[in-house]
Amino acid sequence: MAKKNPSSHMTNIDNISNIGNINTITKTQTQRRMTIADVAQLADVGTMTVSRALNHPEMVSDALRQRILEAVETLGYIPNRVAGGLASGSGNAICVIVPTLNHPVYVPFLEGLYDILPAAGYQILLGTSEYLLEGEEHLVETFLGWQPIGMILAGVDHSPRTRAMLAQANVPVVEIMDLTAQPIDINVGFSHEAVGQAVGQFLLERGYQQIAYVGNRLERDTRGMRRLNGFSAALEGAAACKLVVLNRDLSSSIQAGGVLLGELLETYPQTEVAFFVNDDLAAGALFECQRRGIRVPHDFAIVGFNDQEIAAQVNPSLTSVSTQRLQMGQRAAELLLARLRGETLLANPIDTGFQIVERQSTCQQRSRDQKPKPRRAKNLNTVNPNTVLKEQQTHET
Amino acid sequence: MAKKNPSSHMTNIDNISNIGNINTITKTQTQRRMTIADVAQLADVGTMTVSRALNHPEMVSDALRQRILEAVETLGYIPNRVAGGLASGSGNAICVIVPTLNHPVYVPFLEGLYDILPAAGYQILLGTSEYLLEGEEHLVETFLGWQPIGMILAGVDHSPRTRAMLAQANVPVVEIMDLTAQPIDINVGFSHEAVGQAVGQFLLERGYQQIAYVGNRLERDTRGMRRLNGFSAALEGAAACKLVVLNRDLSSSIQAGGVLLGELLETYPQTEVAFFVNDDLAAGALFECQRRGIRVPHDFAIVGFNDQEIAAQVNPSLTSVSTQRLQMGQRAAELLLARLRGETLLANPIDTGFQIVERQSTCQQRSRDQKPKPRRAKNLNTVNPNTVLKEQQTHET
DNA sequence: TAACTTTATGATAGCGCTATCATTCTTAAG
DNA sequence: CTTAAGAATGATAGCGCTATCATAAAGTTA
């Protein structure tokens, strides 16, 4: 086959752009933005009446409200919330800090927030700390300048200055995705130690002994670290059991999973099962196994974390730990709103729990010498991946 | 094996929370937030000097600046940007509207923005339109109330009212992810028609005739629709060629890909290749093929869109169309900043182009009766997935 | 030394809005 | 018919900051 020209494409922009001389800086008329005074004048009322008509309609007579709304329409007036916030002494910004957007885990959580907070009239300011405490500190400082009425932080580890600023700002704070005995204020999450413990227990019960924990940038990933602690604690009891930890500095992703698997098998070829810090890594490891002809779970078993969609969909499907991410976001938002309304929070550190979802990438009973046939993966997609019991039944064939 | 108790875990919250009577509403001292006046008083200067010391340090003598910074430190003063923005007449918010966070495509794009804009001192307000023009309209209205100095919108389709509001607000606008002949202002993206065209051409060249386009919520997905238009146009020329379109209302995801594949094969069993609206769907279809024992690409070929990481990592790897998402975000941010600085933009509709990345899920030359052996997928992960030519060489064996 | 810059600082007046209180106009009660 | 109570509206004074101009202090030139 002849070498093809590289399939790179650019539309002919000339054809598209030579429509007119748009796009130079021809924003001519610097028309003043409409203010509440303009509306008041047009409707022949005072500014306060306009303000009321928009914010407390019930306080204004029908006739005037009608006239005012017409004026608003005519002028295309949009209230300046910055000024409004300043005048009323309380803005409506809620600041949210997550480690990264790059990891699909934070997305459902954010969705939970975006479902609720904007609908309640609040504006979300989002920032990413890149897993750095200093990043978080800097964001908190910046965000506080926006006079937020609430803050939502992923994680319970914060620099002292972060804590100091939050304390002084006197703003409701929700810490999320993790559980701590000393929350700053509100705390919604689950215990990562407990996850590690449970998975360790789970693997022991299934007869695994040569066990690996595979992470990525664990120095920064305090939650991954905490799972490791629980994991390691669970395995400590078992005498025959050996735990190795592999940790590298790759940008966490599917491909990294493949790379890490390669390293793991080179360094510790006797490893029977690996618990990965997330499902992307686990999936990457699985794909690499497929390429190398390693049978999963027979030759090598895989456990992921987060129960992302990919875990349920690959073949063999991945055993993982499901967490209530959307729910965490929603609960965080609800609790914050409740606090803003001045309500007393009954239970505070809220444990949203987790579930080990057992799928095909781990054996139900590891038998050291026997060679069980790989399981058929047929019709898995008709099984609702959200129901643990069903999925477990699948394995009971 | 005995039925295990469902592996659901909750940490004992009582153990954790009964540390003290934190967490009732015990935010006692409603200490007034520090203002610039407090700093001025402590440093024994005027408020303007404080303002200058913080915003234009070079205008203040060393001695005073020193004293002021100390006072700031002592009081833990954080400037109120809301008030500052109001006073100076120009805020520093930049509003960004994307269809969803749920789709990994928008994440690298947002990263591009978050790389550049906050570093330049701007605050990003992010909103999701959920693929609805009314959603976008509502967000634009809300956002304009924050007196943004710039807006970045995904897509070039907007409701008339959205356009009107943007026009009246007189704010620089960047439309992104798509290309149009009539941009509102700045436009960075690529042509989805051209993508469809190119993929159609690509498949024809490889000898495919029974071709499907598989989408999800195409009514809303104007860009997917536009790719379909280009695709269909490209196939129109070929006489023997038949195009079927499958479109459902599922929440786009890997699982949906499997479902859609099932439907496609039931309804049009003779289909040879399907072009999916995104890689998640394509991957889901691939996994379903694996479960059904359908050989890809021999029995059925798959083309995805977006060149997400999963496309390169699954086995067989997926042919897809790569787009410059991170770059689009960065360019958008840069162009917006340039415009804010008052610079003239040379080229305006900027076409960031695209590339068809040929991988293992499509045959290089479809031979209707011959049965080529499935290709080995070995060592694919040593190939840099960002380099098209290398990947194509892989196929030239 | 007078006249003129230059540099550093402060006083003042808003930015666009809303909280508050005063005023007017109704309506009900005595 | 008077008075009290309520409902609707407006005038005013800030919210915390910065633009602007005025002022004071210091340096420069002839």
**Whether residues A221 and A318 fall in one domain:** yes
> For residue A62, which nucleotide's C1' is closest to its Cα?
D8
Domain that holds residue A43: 31-79
**Whether residues A241 and A365 fall in one domain:** yes
pLDDT at A391: 45
List chain D nucleotides near protein: any atom < 7 Å from a Cβ.
8-12, 14-20
**Whether residues A202 and A153 fall in one domain:** no
CATH number of the domain that A94 lies in? 3.40.50.2300
pLDDT digit string (tens) for B291-310? Answer: 999 999 999 999 999 999 99
Cis peptide, bond prior to residue B316, ω within 30 of zero: yes
Which residues in chain B are closer than 8 Å to A19, comparing Cβ atoms?
181-182
% chain B with pLDDT above 70: 84
Q: Measured in angstroms, what separates residue B36's CA from nucleotide D23's C1'?
A: 22
Assess if residue B135 is contained within a domain.
Answer: yes
Assess if residue A141 is contained within a domain.
Answer: yes
CATH number of the domain that A70 lies in? 1.10.260.40
**Whether residues B319 and B242 fall in one domain:** yes
Which residues in chain B are closer than 8 Å to A147, comparing Cβ atoms?
33, 80-82
Q: Measured in angstroms, what separates residue B91's CA from nucleotide D21's C1'?
A: 24
**Whether residues A168 and A215 fall in one domain:** no
pLDDT at B144: 95
C12 C1' closest Cα residue = B48
Q: Measured in angstroms, what separates residue B142's CA from nucleotide D10's C1'?
A: 28
Strands B186-189 and B173-176, by their bridges, are parallel
B309, B342, B344 ranked by CB distance to A253: nearest = B309
Per-chain mean pLDDT for chain B: 85
> For residue B40, which nucleotide's C1' is closest to its Cα?
C10
Which residues in chain A are closer than 8 Å to B119, comparing Cβ atoms?
none
Assess if residue A12 is contained within a domain.
Answer: no
% chain A with pLDDT above 90: 74
Q: Is the pLDDT of residue A309 over 60?
A: yes
Compute the distance between CA of residue B267 and CA of residue B397 in angstroms, rounded to an integer.
Answer: 36
The number of CA neighbours under 13 Å toward the Cβ of A288 is: 24
**Whether residues B261 and B390 fall in one domain:** yes
> How many domains would you assign to chain A?
3
pLDDT digit string (tens) for B119-167? Answer: 998 999 999 999 999 999 999 999 999 999 999 999 999 999 999 999 9
**Whether residues A166 and A212 fall in one domain:** no
Asked whether the beta carbons of residue B315 and residue A291 sit closer than 8 angstroms, the reply is: yes
Assess if residue B67 is contained within a domain.
Answer: yes
Largest CA distance in chain A: 90
pLDDT at A88: 92
Judged by CB atoms within 8 Å, which residues 180-239 of B form the interface with A? 180-183, 185-186, 190-191, 194-195, 198, 202
**Whether residues A105 and A184 fall in one domain:** yes
Q: How confident is the model at residue B102 (pLDDT cuts 50, 70, 90)?
A: confident
pLDDT digit string (tens) for B238-268? Answer: 888 999 999 999 976 899 999 999 999 999 9
| Residue A130 Rama label (left phi>0; alpha psi -120 to 50; beta) | left
3-state secondary structure chain B: CCCCCCCEECCCHHHHHCCCCCCCCCCCCCCCCCCHHHHHHHHCCCHHHHHHHHHCHHHCCHHHHHHHHHHHHHHCCCCCHHHHHHHHCCCCEEEEEECCCCCCCHHHHHHHHHHHCHHHCCEEEEEECCCCHHHHHHHHHHHHCCCCCEEEEECCCCCHHHHHHHHHHCCCEEEECCCCCCCCCEEEECCHHHHHHHHHHHHHHCCCCEEEEEEECCCCCHHHHHHHHHHHHHHHCCCCCEEEEEEECCCCCHHHHHHHHHHHHHHCCCCCEEEECCHHHHHHHHHHHHHHCCCCCCCCEEECCECCHHHHHCCCCCEEEEECHHHHHHHHHHHHHHHHCCCCCCCCCEECCEEEECCCCCCCCCCCCCCCCCCCCCCHHHCCCCCHHHHHHHHCC
Q: How confident is the model at residue A368 (pLDDT cuts 50, 70, 90)?
A: low
**Whether residues A279 and A378 fall in one domain:** yes
Residue with tokens 């496609």: B264
Q: How confident is the model at residue A23 (pLDDT cuts 50, 70, 90)?
A: very low
Q: How confident is the model at residue B224 (pLDDT cuts 50, 70, 90)?
A: very high
Assess if residue B211 is contained within a domain.
Answer: yes
Q: Measure A370 CA to nearest chain B CA, in Å.
A: 18
Assess if residue B279 is contained within a domain.
Answer: yes
Q: State the angle between helix axes of B133-144 and B160-169 in degrees (0 to 180), rounded to the nearest 10.
A: 20
Assess if residue B13 is contained within a domain.
Answer: no
Distances (CA, A) of A327 to A193, A330, B10, B252: 20, 5, 15, 20
Asked whether the beta carbons of residue A80 and residue B125 sit closer than 8 angstroms, the reply is: no
Which residues in chain B are closer than 8 Å to A145, comparing Cβ atoms?
78-82
A9, A179, A356 ranked by CB distance to B16: nearest = A179
B76, B309, B351 ranked by CB distance to A165: nearest = B76
Does A365 touch chain B if contact means CB atoms closer than 8 Å? yes
Assess if residue B4 is contained within a domain.
Answer: no
Compute the distance between CA of residue A8 and CA of residue B321 in angstroms, rounded to an integer.
Answer: 10
Q: How confident is the model at residue A347 (pLDDT cuts 50, 70, 90)?
A: confident
Contact A96, A125 (CB under 8 A): yes
% chain B with pLDDT above 90: 74
Kindly state the average pLDDT of the residues A5-10. 51
**Whether residues A376 and A390 fall in one domain:** yes
| Residue that wins the pLDDT comparison between B195 and B26 | B195
| Residue that wins the pLDDT comparison between A241 and B9 | A241
Q: Is the pLDDT of residue A394 over 60?
A: no
Does B307 touch chain A if contact means CB atoms closer than 8 Å? no
**Whether residues B331 and B285 fall in one domain:** no
**Whether residues A184 and A53 fall in one domain:** no
